[in-house]
Amino acid sequence: MFEPDERLTELLVEFCRRRLATAPVRVGLGGVRTPRASALDGMLCEGGNDPERVLRVFEDELEASIFSPDSPDYLAFIPTAPTKASLLFDMAVSAASFPGTSWLEAAGVVAAENQALRFLADLAELPAGAGGCFVSGGSIANLSALFVAREHARPVARPRIAVSDEAHPSVALALRVLGVEPLVVPTDDHRLTGAALSEALVDDVVAVVATAGTTNAGLVDDLAGIADVAHERNLWLHVDGAYGAAALLVPELRGRFRGIERADSLVVNPHKWLFAPFDCAALLYRRPELARAVLTQHASYLDVMHTDADEWNPGDYAIHLTRRARGLPFWFSLAVHGTSRYREALARTLSTARRCARLIEDAPHLELAREPELSVVLFRRPGWEADDYRRWSERLLEEQRALVSPTVWEGAPTARLAFLHPDTSIELVAEILDAMRT
């Protein structure tokens, strides 16, 4: 009924070829603007449209409203910087319609994804039996892990989970979904510490969430101290390393993550700082059988997936069932480029962040808010208010120089640059800083 169309194939392959060949990708392709209200008129109709017309509408009207987070000029939020190999293989995964739910359907897919998961587990020095699956992002990963933590907690009438006041908002959302109250523990210099956790704990707390790389400032909690308290008090330790745990690849930073090897569950998002396309987040459990016991979905038509004790069904390790093989592009790129290339790319972004900090210290019109720990740099222009930072960021975007987004740090408006793309140049950074002179 939907027969292959050679012309349609050629159109889309050529579009992908053009997009992949664009170097560097610009933040806004041709200047970011809102599509015309009439741009999509007639697109969804009984008879369909000529594919060339539909693609032209997309390129001329819609693509111009899309920011490109894989651009070296994209320094807002937490960007992404997928390798060309991962993007190309993501195309192959979609074209082949690879499933990723069960061993029965796709044992080869699962084997490759598990190899990539094992690579991440080894980085964190988790035990040999650790495992899990790839999910869409940190939100689903945190929700799934905290559900497992709650279900295996000691009996408590109204269990609570300890979190810091710097935890990612997806953690608070997950707790609301689960109907679990948070115990919010104040941070010490924006980090959750074992001492603060120990002092704040009450009897109904059953788990604790630590952060390995906060989104706003890139800070790593006192994982070793938190792990000590969690062990002493029999608490499930969940580590949200969605952004920052990738830095485990860099030898000189491994010490900052001491204690992560004691996590009961861990999140690492390759689509953030490990150069994979959206949507690719790794969820790992120290004892995956605990997750399988409470997350496996049961139905008569699903029984065939659970007949072999040695099977590994990714659908059993998170709050999902049907899933795409989202870990394959990461696995493919890692296999093609090798781990040393990845290590070099992370080291380069860290170097750019540190060089940026030195430029700020040397600039008479700027001040460094704090020394960067990972790849996020916070700084201020003395005398500026929130509107000044907003105008600065808008001007950079209008001039197609960069996408930056100010934040708030310690109650004051603050400039923020997030470095994840290894090809972001220090020359661009100098331009961005110089644009704050006026």
Give all domains of the chain, ordered by start, each with its CATH number: 90-337 (3.40.640.10), 339-434 (3.90.1150.170)
CA–CA distance, 187 with 396 (Å, rounded to integer): 34
Q: Residue 36: which pLDDT band, with cuts at 50, 70 and 90?
A: confident
- pLDDT per residue over 98-153, tens digit each? 999 999 999 999 999 999 999 999 999 999 999 999 999 999 999 999 999 999 99
CA distance 113 to 327: 5
Element (H, E) at 11: helix 6-21
pLDDT tens-place string over residues 385-413: 999 999 999 999 888 889 999 999 999 99
A 10 A CB-CB count for 226 gives: 31
pLDDT per residue as tens digits for the range 47-70: 999 999 999 999 888 887 888 888
pLDDT band at 283 (very low <50, low <70, confident <90, very high): very high
Alpha carbons within 13 A on the beta-carbon side of 213: 26
Provide the whole-model pTM: 0.96
Taking only the tens place, the pLDDT of each residue in 320-365 is 999 999 999 999 999 999 999 999 999 999 999 999 999 999 999 9
Helices (H), 234-315: 270-273, 288-295
Instruction: Say how far apart CA 38 and CA 36 lie, in whole Å.
Output: 5
* 8 Å CB contact between 247 and 213: yes
Q: Which residue has the tokens 């940190």?
A: 138
Q: Is the pLDDT of residue 29 over 60?
A: no
Task: Return the half-sphere exposure (C-beta side, CA atoms, 13 A cut-off) of residue 406.
Answer: 23
Nearest to 377 by CA among 415, 348, 347: 415
Grade residue 34 by pLDDT with cuts at 50, 70 and 90. Answer: confident
